[in-house]
Amino acid sequence: MPSELRHVMFRPAEVVEAVRDYRRRMGDPLSALTVVSCAPERDGDGETVRFRLTLPGQPAIAKRTRRQEATADQEVIIEGPDLISALILYCSERRIPLPAKADKFLDIVRNQVCLVISIGMKKQMV
């Protein structure tokens, strides 16, 4: 039986949108509307693909001086099943067909998150 291997590439802005929608649906929305920086990366062992978002610090009012002081930027990291789920939801909402029973995993290609979908392939071959 023939096998199939597909790659669906996501620009960083698309991943941000996918993560934002996913977190909102899970009841844990991102605290800021803007993103300072974002990029895909691999964890220390080089296997797990994750996506790091840096959100701007929220202004806080100092009680003694009544001046606004910026807090530190907030980092959000999404990886593994949560990142795959966010991308699948993104595809579903845009009617990008994905086979339900296929194996899915993440890779990074040219600074983009890549959802790799394999059908009919043995795990060793992927």
22/74 Cα distance (integer angstroms):
18
pLDDT digits (tens, 9 = 90+) for 18-28: 999 999 999 99
Q: What is the pLDDT of residue 69?
A: 61
76/118 Cα distance (integer angstroms):
29
Looking at per-residue confidence, does 46 or 126 come out higher? 46
- In the predicted model, is pLDDT for residue 49 greater than 90? yes
Cβ atoms of 20 and 30 closer than 8 Å: yes
- The residue range of the domain holding 47 is 4-125
What string of DSSP letters covers 94-119?
TT----TTSEEEEEEETTEEEEEEEE
57/89 Cα distance (integer angstroms):
28
| Number of structural domains in the chain | 1
